A and B are shown apart, each in its own frame.
Chain A
């Protein structure tokens, strides 16, 4: 309270500043005003970046570390600029802000630059000795396989793991820095650039020599396999990433597996698998799921090759609710690649999960065995199916959750387990999507196509887009229906951008199916002939669970969609952003009249911006201590006016003859065209808030709010806040604080179209984020209706009109004047949808009525 009074006292009774010539005053003012303008710009940029950061955080969409880093950088630099600007305006005071800022930015960079901690261990570990405890050395995949190889009833091929320690020895910090440099300068949407960079990175890794001691260990490991499996035995090199295959994040099929490697190719093949971490698909996937490249470490499993007769994938429990008590098996001849790549037509079996594991259903693929009568015969016999089922249950029981298991039957009839990982299950929240097929199209046309295998359940609509080549992959539009021949893992980067995925071949067991489920993207595979039935560019709707495709956008179906899962949940990047936001967005300095509105209470960057903004306004306009301005600089607008408005003339904004020393000004003494236009909007309809304040009443209201500190801040603040017009003949900048809204109108009207502009910014309000966003959205819609170009980020709104005639811009300014004053009414009603609608109508009607009345600027007079 003392602060308020001393401010007022300074305002009215300040000692006369040192005498200065009018030119000096104007130059000083121009400089100070330049600081103020750049401070406001920095303020807007900082708040906008904060809103953007919050938006990506809450959107449930994926975001990259590069985006987080660049937004935080933008915020930091702009906040620093504000501090610098304020200090220059305030003659070097506010040193303590720099200290607070340094502390926060230091903490922030600690959070952002934090590297995962790695323990070092041996280069090589025999698979038989590996357990879950070695995860940080051998990766998820090999840790699981190591566990399984210790179970007597299971057969896992012998092998060893080249550890993360070895990888770090091979790819040093210098390599990693160079790789990150290449990746970070890439435009995220530039697929060509990404592919080019990836092949360069891969070449760089493969050309790097393996450290001698590592090569020695690798060869020694291979020798020990030769001892078990015979000299010259072939091995498979499999990637095993750290952080890979943990629940909810599959990294399915993104990395390299190289089969049939002999001694000679061993070193190169190892380097290729390590380089696989930087494959374009893997990079795109990590970006989508919120993993930094340094969060993933590549380990390499080296397993003796199995001479496979039949291979496949078992899901120990079928994904997708209704058939939960069965397990599924997909099998092909030879090695299992065809199943996971989704190319081969597989034999498909559904088995009961209890002994004797009877076959519930079987579908034989085109590649099925033919017997002597040329009839299709299952690729697996009853005994093999029983064995697979039995082992699947053993593995599931061991890990305690349903498993996705890769296996091969060898020539000698043994069953080899090659990999096991937790299954990707649909989010429980998405369970609502189980809509029976017949009911789904009861309201409209029947589906034009049904069939296939539901690889990921869901409903979506979009434009058909066929992809057969890399070229088409690059031109794939966001939100289109991805139509493929084979669901190859190569297409994985498109999945997260697609409305849904449809393919001629494939099953629910492929990598692309796993990834679709993970991203919550509907996928329908194995629909033969579908590519001929779908015309490029047609809009269709898919219900993959009902295995149905419909023409057009079927709102009746789309409305039954469940909520999409947050694909960033629990990722390292999300954790970083969660922590970082704590230092950025919370606002503790709410009330400028409060005793706690001090620099020492600034705890976040948002606090600093709020503080700097408030103080810069004070520095700019109050005529207090340290001011160098002509006391007549700010004049109170008097007459029949709502609220409190002050006017500062930068150049030629007043009629000639207005006394410099006058403390007040009437509207008819103002000749600034943009200000007059705004004023027409402000005064077109009566103010619906508290009654206009007389000079006499002003003090009593301050007193009242000071006596009642609990008074609703959104009501108390406008009465103690002044609104400033900065004007010249053609220019006007109006800063308004109504409650916690901050609105700014800026305009320059010129005969030259290219110079003219009107800008409107609106931010905040004393409501929760959702209500703020509703209000900003309503304003955005109205402004768009009247021809503004609008950018809306969370609750920060920026509307612009440029390069239009002065007459057109004057009309826009009247609209803005109207909205600035009346937007405050929205505060009370934002929770009631009908009220929002009512206000939309009311605003539009009043604005239209206002614009219908021609009000030529030159003849405008006050009190009208």
Chain B
């Protein structure tokens, strides 16, 4: 698997730390954030490819965090994490542009699969943009 960077956002410390540890063991650069606010702060400075985001958190919740991520870091892909989500919150997240969602308790294989697919999508998206930029530069020789 290619190396990429994941941010795990969950107020539940036990779950967050365990997930980070497991992902690191699998060769993914993962780190944790305990709130939406902290996640936004990290995203301002660090290079993150995929965010694993819990929907239900105190403070700004997952859906609101997702909304902010779409504005601040539109290229970053988000996988939502729901505990006992109502039917709407899954769909709402998808409509706001989340890549996918997982239900707690999560299993490792689907988690790894979704994260790497999300990364793959981000990579393709980025390539497309780079290609377009290259074309622009070449079309306008300075």
* A376 interface hit (Cβ, 8 Å): no
Asked whether, in the complex, the Cβ of B87 is within 8 Å of the Cβ of A27, the reply is no
Please, which residues of chain B bring their CB within 8 A of the CB of A74? Answer: 103
Asked whether, in the complex, the Cβ of B87 is within 8 Å of the Cβ of A113, the reply is yes
Q: How distant is the Cα of A73 from the Cα of B103 in the complex, in angstroms?
A: 9
Q: How distant is the Cα of A326 from the Cα of B55 in the complex, in angstroms?
A: 60
Q: How distant is the Cα of A84 from the Cα of B84 in the complex, in angstroms?
A: 24
* B119 interface hit (Cβ, 8 Å): no
* B70 interface hit (Cβ, 8 Å): no
Q: Give the contact stretch, choosing among A180-188, A244-252, A384-392, A730-738.
A: A180-188
Instruction: Decide if the interface of chain B is mainly helix, strand, loop or mixed.
Output: helix
Asked whether, in the complex, the Cβ of B84 is within 8 Å of the Cβ of A66, the reply is yes
Asked whether, in the complex, the Cβ of B104 is within 8 Å of the Cβ of A109, the reply is no
- Residues in A102-123 with C-beta less than 8 Å from chain B: 105, 108-109, 112-113
* A352 interface hit (Cβ, 8 Å): no
Asked whether, in the complex, the Cβ of A181 is within 8 Å of the Cβ of B131, the reply is no
* B85 interface hit (Cβ, 8 Å): yes
Q: How distant is the Cα of A180 from the Cα of B83 in the complex, in angstroms?
A: 11
Instruction: Decide if the interface of chain A is mainly helix, strand, loop or mixed.
Output: helix
CB of A86 to closest CB in B, whole Å: 14
Per-residue B-contact encoding for A68-82, CB less than 8 Å = 1, 0 else? 011011101100110
Q: How distant is the Cα of A346 from the Cα of B104 in the complex, in angstroms?
A: 48
Asked whether, in the complex, the Cβ of A27 is within 8 Å of the Cβ of B94, the reply is no
* A712 interface hit (Cβ, 8 Å): no
Q: How distant is the Cα of A181 from the Cα of B84 in the complex, in angstroms?
A: 7
* B4 interface hit (Cβ, 8 Å): no
Residue of A nearest to B93 (CB): A77
Known contacts A24-B131, A27-B127; A185/B87 CB under 8 A: no
Per-residue A-contact encoding for B80-107, CB less than 8 Å = 1, 0 else? 0011111110110011000011011100
* A151 interface hit (Cβ, 8 Å): no
* A30 interface hit (Cβ, 8 Å): yes
Please, which residues of chain A bring their CB within 8 A of the CB of B104? Answer: 185
Asked whether, in the complex, the Cβ of B87 is within 8 Å of the Cβ of A112, the reply is yes
Asked whether, in the complex, the Cβ of B128 is within 8 Å of the Cβ of A76, the reply is no
* A38 interface hit (Cβ, 8 Å): yes
Q: How distant is the Cα of A5 from the Cα of B36 in the complex, in angstroms?
A: 54
Q: How distant is the Cα of A785 from the Cα of B119 in the complex, in angstroms?
A: 37
Q: How distant is the Cα of A108 from the Cα of B105 in the complex, in angstroms?
A: 24
Asked whether, in the complex, the Cβ of B124 is within 8 Å of the Cβ of A77, the reply is no
Number of contacts between A and B (CB, 8 Å)? 59
Per-residue B-contact encoding for A7-46, CB less than 8 Å = 1, 0 else? 0000000000000000110010011001000100000000
Q: How distant is the Cα of A27 from the Cα of B126 in the complex, in angstroms?
A: 12
Q: How distant is the Cα of A74 from the Cα of B120 in the complex, in angstroms?
A: 21
Residue of A nearest to B120 (CB): A34
Residue of A nearest to B87 (CB): A109
CB of A278 to closest CB in B, whole Å: 16
* B121 interface hit (Cβ, 8 Å): yes
Of B95, B105, B127, B128, the contact of A80 (CB 8 Å cutoff) = B95
Asked whether, in the complex, the Cβ of A184 is within 8 Å of the Cβ of B83, the reply is yes
Residue of A nearest to B83 (CB): A185
CB of B73 to closest CB in A, whole Å: 20
CB of A694 to closest CB in B, whole Å: 40
CB of A745 to closest CB in B, whole Å: 20
Please, which residues of chain B bring their CB within 8 A of the CB of A38? Answer: 117, 121
Asked whether, in the complex, the Cβ of B124 is within 8 Å of the Cβ of A185, the reply is no
Asked whether, in the complex, the Cβ of A34 is within 8 Å of the Cβ of B121, the reply is yes
Please, which residues of chain B bring their CB within 8 A of the CB of A187? Answer: 105
- Residues in A529-587 with C-beta less than 8 Å from chain B: none
Asked whether, in the complex, the Cβ of A27 is within 8 Å of the Cβ of B131, the reply is yes
Q: How distant is the Cα of A472 from the Cα of B111 in the complex, in angstroms?
A: 33
CB of B97 to closest CB in A, whole Å: 9
CB of A796 to closest CB in B, whole Å: 17
CB of B132 to closest CB in A, whole Å: 10
Asked whether, in the complex, the Cβ of B94 is within 8 Å of the Cβ of A84, the reply is yes
Q: How distant is the Cα of A109 from the Cα of B85 in the complex, in angstroms?
A: 11
Q: How distant is the Cα of A81 from the Cα of B100 in the complex, in angstroms?
A: 9
Of A24, A30, A69, A184, the contact of B87 (CB 8 Å cutoff) = A69
Please, which residues of chain B bring their CB within 8 A of the CB of A112? Answer: 87
CB of B92 to closest CB in A, whole Å: 10
Asked whether, in the complex, the Cβ of B83 is within 8 Å of the Cβ of A105, the reply is no
Please, which residues of chain A bring their CB within 8 A of the CB of B95? Answer: 80
- Residues in A179-220 with C-beta less than 8 Å from chain B: 180-181, 184-185, 187
Asked whether, in the complex, the Cβ of A80 is within 8 Å of the Cβ of B91, the reply is yes
Asked whether, in the complex, the Cβ of B124 is within 8 Å of the Cβ of A109, the reply is no
Of A31, A72, A105, the contact of B124 (CB 8 Å cutoff) = A31
CB of A111 to closest CB in B, whole Å: 9
Asked whether, in the complex, the Cβ of B85 is within 8 Å of the Cβ of A31, the reply is no
Asked whether, in the complex, the Cβ of A73 is within 8 Å of the Cβ of B131, the reply is no
Q: How distant is the Cα of A184 from the Cα of B131 in the complex, in angstroms?
A: 46
Please, which residues of chain A bring their CB within 8 A of the CB of B94? Answer: 77, 80-81, 84
CB of B62 to closest CB in A, whole Å: 15
Q: How distant is the Cα of A56 from the Cα of B20 in the complex, in angstroms?
A: 34
CB of A741 to closest CB in B, whole Å: 26
Please, which residues of chain B bring their CB within 8 A of the CB of A34? Answer: 120-121, 124
CB of A18 to closest CB in B, whole Å: 14
Known contacts A31-B128, A34-B124, A184-B83; A109/B105 CB under 8 A: no
Known contacts A73-B103, A77-B100, A77-B101; A30/B124 CB under 8 A: yes
Q: How distant is the Cα of A72 from the Cα of B82 in the complex, in angstroms?
A: 14
Asked whether, in the complex, the Cβ of A27 is within 8 Å of the Cβ of B128, the reply is yes
Q: How distant is the Cα of A638 from the Cα of B87 in the complex, in angstroms?
A: 49
Known contacts A34-B124, A187-B105; A181/B91 CB under 8 A: no
Chosen A-B contacts, 5 in total, with CB atoms closer than 8 Å, are A34-B120, A76-B91, A80-B91, A81-B94, A109-B86
- Give residues in A with beta carbon < 8 Å to B: 23-24, 27, 30-31, 34, 38, 66, 69-70, 72-74, 76-77, 80-81, 84, 105, 108-109, 112-113, 180-181, 184-185, 187
Closest 8 pairs between A and B when the two form their complex, measured CB to CB: A184-B84, A109-B87, A73-B90, A185-B83, A77-B90, A80-B94, A70-B103, A187-B105
| Extra contacts besides A23-B131, A112-B87 (13): CB < 8 Å | A30-B124, A31-B128, A34-B121, A34-B124, A38-B121, A72-B87, A73-B103, A76-B91, A80-B94, A81-B100, A105-B88, A109-B88, A185-B104
